Chain A
Amino acid sequence: EIVMTQTPLSLSATPGQPASISCKSSQSLLHSDGKTYLYWYLQKPGQSPQLLIYEISSRFSGVPDRFSGSGSGTDFTLKISRVEAEDVGVYYCMQAIDGVTFGPGTKVDIK
């Protein structure tokens, strides 16, 4: 099973300032089809998770452009260019190259 790790596990962000979350996988997520099956989800309090980023860096429909993803192979990063109050929640990375596994989550709150 592919193990996903995230750092930090909690983050207190300042509105208007950038924030970033790191995600590492125990195996490469690059498929022979050329795609890398790494995703980022946000679960806001009391809600179902919502997709932010798919295949490392593509923003899902309706996701603000302050969210961006980068990385390759086994190392990935989610960046928020300017944190807003509505960005609070738990951020999960997820791999889907071999079954599906989620990272442990990064809880983001506002200072």
Chain B
Amino acid sequence: QVQLVQSGAEVKKPGASVKVSCKASGYTFTRHYIHWVRQAPGQGLEWLGAINPSGGAASYAQKFQGRMTMTRGTSTTTVYLELSTLSSDDTAIYYCAILSSDGTDSWGQGTLVTVSS
């Protein structure tokens, strides 16, 4: 079955960068875009962007352009989200997800990123 498994929790200082991974399995990796969505404590869902594993092209929410990079691994079924110049506003659970694509919808377990001095 389709599965997205994310890397573990991170604690970062303001101004630092963080890189979260999402390993996909159970399907043809290039078949579905992988999206990143975050959820600040007690808040709603915020879409960050998406990457096409076939080719690696990524699109970003305007708010995060220039500060966020999505990449795919070479010869692995893993995608990465890197966010730079972190502030306390970036404290959130970060999810990777396949959003309703050809009958598939699947979310990772989430990665808590805490930004604190």
Contacts and interface: CB of A to CB of B under 8 A. Distances in A.
A92 B45 contact: yes
A43 B103 CA distance: 19
Contacts of B27: none
Nearest to A104: B44
B108 interface: yes
A48 B108 CA distance: 7
Interface string A26-54: 00000000000001010100001111001
**Which residue among A39, A49, A54, A61 has the maximum number of chain B CB atoms within 10 Å of its CB?**
A49
Given A1-B62, A99-B61, A102-B46, A48 B110 contact: yes
Contacts of B105: 50-51, 54, 60
A100 interface: yes
Contacts of A69: none
The 10 A-B pairs at the shortest CB distance, nearest first, are namely A48-B107, A51-B105, A100-B47, A102-B45, A105-B44, A54-B100, A104-B44, A39-B100, A51-B100, A92-B45
30 contacts: A1-B62, A39-B99, A41-B45, A48-B95, A48-B97, A48-B108, A48-B110, A49-B37, A49-B97, A49-B107, A51-B99, A54-B100, A60-B100, A60-B105, A92-B44, A94-B45, A94-B99, A96-B99, A96-B100, A99-B47, A99-B59, A99-B61, A100-B47, A100-B50, A102-B45, A102-B46, A103-B44, A104-B44, A105-B44, A105-B45
